[in-house]
Amino acid sequence: MLTIYTKPIPKPADCFDLSGLSLDELVSSLSSIYDHQKGGTIWLGYLDGWMLTNQEEVILRKVIRVFSCSAVSTFPLSFSYACKNEIDYVYVD
């Protein structure tokens, strides 16, 4: 499940906070969480779809199918169609 916010919000309580990581670190952290955890909430911080390469997008899709993920995005439509299928909520102003 992926929840997108179009305005800045505080990070959720009790989550894996990946908002301060570079994209390279983000991908390796997402893979590690996916391999070692059974569930939880992941806070991605600010993320637009065109920031991701195809490989990063595949890893993100794998994770958002298992975990509850949240992100802030100025352009929610920038995510690929495959990621859009995983979006449950988009909160706008």
Q: Which pLDDT score, from 0 to 100, does residue 35 have? A: 94
Rounded CA gap, 25 and 92, in Å? 28
**Cα–Cα distances in Å, from 75 out to 58, 69, 79?**
19, 17, 8
| 64, two tokens | 């958002």
Q: Averaged over 74-81, what is the pLDDT?
A: 85
Placement of tokens 């706008």 in the chain: 92
Output DSSP code: residue 38: S
Q: Tell me the per-residue pLDDT of 24-70, one tens digit each, with 9 for 90 and over.
A: 899 999 999 999 999 999 999 998 888 888 888 888 899 999 999 99
pLDDT given for residue 29 in this prediction: 94
Answer whether residue 23 shows pLDDT above 90: no
